[in-house]
Amino acid sequence: MSLYRKYRPQRFKDLVNQEHIKTTLLNSLKRNHLSQAYLFAGPRGTGKTTTARILAKAFNCSKRNPEPCNHCLSCQEHTKLKSLDLIEIDAASNRGIDEIRELRERIKLAPSSSPYKIFIIDEVHMLTPEAFNALLKTLEEPPSHAIFILATTEPHKIPATVLSRCQRFDFLPLTILEMVIRLKKIAKAERIRFDEDGLRMIAAAASGGMRDAISILDQLSSSGKKISINLIQETLGVVPERATLKIFEALVKKDLNSGFMALSKIKKKGYNLIHFRRTLLDFLAVVLVYKMSGEEKELKDNLSYEICQKVISLSADVEIKELIKIIKTLARDSLIEKDALPSLGLEIALVELAQVECHSVLDTESINKIGDFEALWHGFLKEIKPYNHSLAGIMRSARVLGKKDDQIMIEVDYDFHRQKIEDKINLQKIEEMIEKIFAKKYKLVCQVGKAKEKSKSLKDIALEVFE
């Protein structure tokens, strides 16, 4: 049996965190004040289905006090998922109106041996509009013996008419400290050797989901080796906290070179860059909560002591709005493209956040045209953004070296940026947009070179040339 199934909570008091939900549900059970429809919403692995099963077991427990006793026949059948009065439906694979119509027929039947017939519908947001309409009719006039518990990771996709008929509970991601405590308890019970830093890394890799954390522990324990940072990095490709800190430092200091060096090391070690982006966002979210609350507890619950101290020091001069801007930039969906290099999205984000300005040395057409050229070039950058965000980011980081006859010469820092620009389809689109904005056809010539005078604006450099 997997560790997750073996150690799945069977009582409310065994649930990790979610105190606000446990308290409310236990009070309702104590007073026998039950609702006929509940909605459990929150990220995956935070205990929605587990809580639904415990609640269902408590409803039908013959000795409820208010926790389920786990000893009576009803509790034992619910624990083994063999109760005829507990019906679980996966809406991801049973999402049509026919399935809901069948459910409505089953609702009419009285419970076989329990006070209530309980329906748990997982991933309920996956139901079709027609199925939701059929479900709504049932929720409006349910039989007194029927109770619905809906679970979802995306509550915003559920119709308001359905939401309004449910008692809603929002599950929160678990902190790293809470997950480490639970993992430590399981590891000791299973006699698994571990380093606490190793458990912390497992918790960080699980991104707030206890189920994922226990599954990772289970996977690693099968190696027979001690659960350590090195084992986790080798097995899962999880980026160390220190590497995440390096990127964070580069972002807050707007140090593009340090950021690229840190990212280059991460790439060379073969870490999963899509996973790393998620890890980095989680890291930044923890820092943001700390900045907004002023309480160090959020950092201590989620980061090691050494990293905490460095984050406190680094974030001292960072404004909240700047952190929000960083998170928004990194979270942008357009930074992940099927045809892009795996790290390109992160590199584009670094370029944008470092506020690298496009600048150039213009030809001598006319000093009076300098302002016009700058405005037209920025107009072109704005025009290309909807076409391809990552390509637009590369163009924003490029330097315009000059304009001669029917050519515009630009310079980039990296060869893969040049390759992206010179891709046949991309280059054709770029030149079409330049012609549209400049009202003149130009050929774009791109070369790779070193960064030059990045602190100066386009106009400053142009004026120096003409002087």
| Per-residue pLDDT reduced to its tens digit, 305-318 | 888 889 998 888 78
- Cα dihedral 370, 374, 375, 376 sign: positive
Q: What is the pLDDT of residues 83-140, one digit of tens each?
A: 999 999 988 887 788 888 888 888 888 898 899 999 999 999 999 888 898 889 889 8
Instruction: Parse the chain into domains and list their residue ranges.
Output: 3-170, 176-236, 241-353, 367-466
Q: Residues 6 or more apart from 431 whose CB is under 8 A from it?
A: 441, 442, 443, 444
Top mean-pLDDT range of 214-223, 250-259, 449-458: 214-223
Q: Residue 344 and residue 331: Cα distance in Å, rounded?
A: 14
Instruction: Check if CATH label 3.40.50.970 holds for domain 367-466.
Output: no
Stronger pLDDT, 112 or 368, i.e. the higher one = 112
Q: CA angle, corner 115, sides to 110 and 119, nearest 5?
A: 70
Q: Are 333 and 324 in contact (CB under 8 A)?
A: no
The stretch 189-195 carries a mean pLDDT of: 93
- Bridge partners of 446, per DSSP, are 410
- Cα dihedral 93, 99, 104, 110 sign: negative
Q: Residues 6 or more apart from 83 whose CB is under 8 A from it?
A: 60, 74, 77, 114
Confidence tier at 344 by pLDDT (50, 70, 90): low
Whether the per-residue pLDDT at 459 is higher than 70: the answer is no
Give the per-residue pLDDT at 289. 86
Confidence tier at 158 by pLDDT (50, 70, 90): very high
Stronger pLDDT, 384 or 458, i.e. the higher one = 384
Measured between its terminal Cα atoms, the distance across the chain in Å is: 78
Q: What is the 3-state secondary structure (H, E, C) of 291-302?
A: HHHCCCHHHHHH
DSSP code for 109: S
Instruction: Check if CATH label 1.10.260.40 holds for domain 176-236.
Output: no
CATH, domain range 241-353: 1.20.272.10
Q: Residue 34 and residue 465: Cα distance in Å, rounded?
A: 78
Give the per-residue pLDDT at 364. 37
Q: What is the pLDDT of residues 413-434, one digit of tens each?
A: 888 888 889 989 999 999 998 8
The stretch 405-409 carries a mean pLDDT of: 84
CATH, domain range 3-170: 3.40.50.300
Confidence tier at 457 by pLDDT (50, 70, 90): very low
Q: Is the peptide bond before 68 cis (omega within 30 degrees of 0)?
A: no
Give the per-residue pLDDT at 67. 94
Say what angle helices 424-438 and 370-384 make with each other, to 10 degrees: 130
pTM: 0.62
What letter represents residue 270's amino acid?
G
Top mean-pLDDT range of 156-170, 197-211, 244-258: 156-170
